[in-house]
Amino acid sequence: MSPTTTASPPSTGRTGDRIFSGLSKGAGIALLAIMAAIAVFLTARAVVAIRANEGNFLTTFEWNANADPPVFGIAVLLFGTVASSLIAMLLAVPVAVGIALFISHYAPRRLATPIGYVVDLLAAVPSIIYGLWGALFLVPRLTGLYEWLDQFFGWTGVLSYDGSPARSLMTVGILLAIMILPIITSVTREVFLQTPKANEEAALALGATRWEVVRMAVLPFGRSGVISASMLGLGRALGETMAVATVLSPAFLINLSLLESGGATFAQNIASQFKEAGSMGRDALIASGLVLFLLTLVVNGAARLIIARHKEYSGAAA
C-alpha cells in the first residue's frame, strides 16, 4: 500500500511543478521583454525621425516636425522639463520631510495614522484632476504672488513678471510639487519609522530635546531614504503629462523668466501636438518620448539602487 501512494503523487507533482514554474518564469521574462520592446520600438521610430531631421536634434530651438523638411530639437523641452521638475523638488522635498517627521515623530499617535491614510489617498488622485484644479483655481490666484516676487526679485531676471496669466513653468513647478508630495512623504515616513528606537531613546536619555533627537538620530539614519524618495518624486515630475498640459501655456522658446508663460516639457509637448501630427511629426514626438524614457530610467534606476543598498545596510545592522 505504501509504495503505491508514495510512487504516484511525486510524478504528477513534478509535471505540475514544471508547468507552473515555467509559467511563472515566463511571466517574469515577459516583463523584461516588455521593457526591452519599449526601448527597441521607440528607438526604431526615433532613428527614422532623427535621420530626416534638418535641424540638430539636441540644440535646435524649434519644433516644426510636420514641415518639409522637418526641423526640430529638444533643447526647449529639456529646459522646460528640468526647470519645472527642479522647482517642484525644491518646494516639495523640505515640506515632505517635514510632514514625514510630523507623522513619524511629532503628531499624537491618534492623529498620525489617519494622516498617513490621507496622504496615501492623495497619492491616488489622478493627475488630470490636479491639472483641472491648477488651471481653474491655482493659476488666477498666483498673479498676486508673482507681482510681489517681481517687485522685489525682478532684477534677477529669473523672477521678472509681465502680468500675463500665470501659466508658466513656475506654476507648473508649484503644481508638480503638490502632486509629488504624497509619494515623497510616504517613502520618507517609512524610512523615518525604521529609525532604531534605541538610538532615539539614548539621545533622549542624554537630555536631548525632540529636535536634537531628530537631528542626531532620525535624519542621519534616514538620509539615503530621503534622497531616494526625492528621486522617485523627481521621476514622477519629469514624466507628468496632463497636469502640465492643462496649466502651461506652451511656446517653443526658452524664457529665462520662470514666472512668464512659455516653454514646454517633453510629456506636455507630446500630448498637445499629437492630434495635429502627421507621420513624421509622430516619429519626432516618439524621439522626444525616447529621451524622456531614458531620463526617467536613469533617475528611477539611481533611486532604486540607493534604496537597495540602504536595505542591505539596515538589514545587516538589525
Partner 1 sequence: MSDTDRTRNEPGPERRGGPPRPPEVAPENGGVAQEHDRAAHELAAVAPMVSGQSVPVHPETARPAEVPSETRVEEHQERVIITPPVRPPTMGLRRPRLPRWTPLGLAVGSLAFAVAVGLVAGLDSRVQWGLIAALVFVAANFALTAAVEGRRQAVDKLALSLIWTSFLVAVLPLASLVWETVARGIPTVSWDFLTHSMNGVLSWQQGGGIYHALLATLQQVALASLIAIPIGLLTAVYLVEYGRGSLARAITFFVDVMTGIPSIVAGLFVLTLWIMALDFGYSGFAGALALSILMMPIVVRATEEMLKLVPNELREAALALGVPKWRVILKVVLPTAIGGITTGVMLAIARIAGETAPILLLVFGSNLINANPFEGPQSSLPLFVYEQWGYGTEEAYDRAWAAALVLIVLIMILNLVARGVARWKAPKTGR
Site for partner 1 in 274-303 (CB under 8 A): 274, 282, 285-286, 289, 292-293, 296-297, 299-301, 303
Residues within window 49-88 making contact with partner 1, judged by CB under 8 A: none
Which of these ranges, 51-59, 114-122, 151-159, 249-257, lies near partner 1 under the rule CB under 8 A? 114-122
Alpha-carbon gap, residue 156 to 240, rounded angstroms: 28
Minimum Å gap between C-beta 256 and partner 1 is 26
Q: Give the helix ranges, DSSP H, for the chain.
A: 2-52, 75-101, 109-122, 127-133, 139-153, 169-193, 197-205, 210-213, 219-239, 242-247, 266-273, 279-317
Site for partner 1 (CB under 8 A): which residue of 2, 7, 59, 205?
205
Residues within window 217-246 making contact with partner 1, judged by CB under 8 A: 232, 235-236, 238-242, 245-246
- The 137-156 contact track toward partner 1, x by CB under 8 A, reads xx-----x------------
With contacts defined by CB under 8 A, how many residues of the chain interact with partner 1?
106
- Cell 514646454 appears where? 264
Site for partner 1 (CB under 8 A): which residue of 210, 223, 309, 311?
210
Q: Nearer to partner 1 by C-beta: 169 or 237?
A: 237
Which of these ranges, 13-21, 54-62, 69-77, 82-90, lies near partner 1 under the rule CB under 8 A? 13-21
Alpha-carbon gap, residue 129 to 171, rounded angstroms: 16
Distances from the Cα of 54 to the Cα of 64, 71, 150, 167, angstroms: 10, 5, 39, 31
Alpha-carbon gap, residue 249 to 170, rounded angstroms: 12
**Among 224, 225, 221, 223, which Cα is nearest to 202's?**
221
Residues within window 82-111 making contact with partner 1, judged by CB under 8 A: 94-99, 101-102, 106-107
The one-letter amino acid code at 125 reads V
130 binds partner 1 (CB under 8 A): yes
Q: Nearer to partner 1 by C-beta: 240 or 257?
A: 240
Alpha-carbon gap, residue 41 to 141, rounded angstroms: 43
* Cα R_g (the chain), whole angstroms: 25
Residues within window 20-49 making contact with partner 1, judged by CB under 8 A: 20-21, 23-32, 34-35, 37-38, 41-42, 44-45
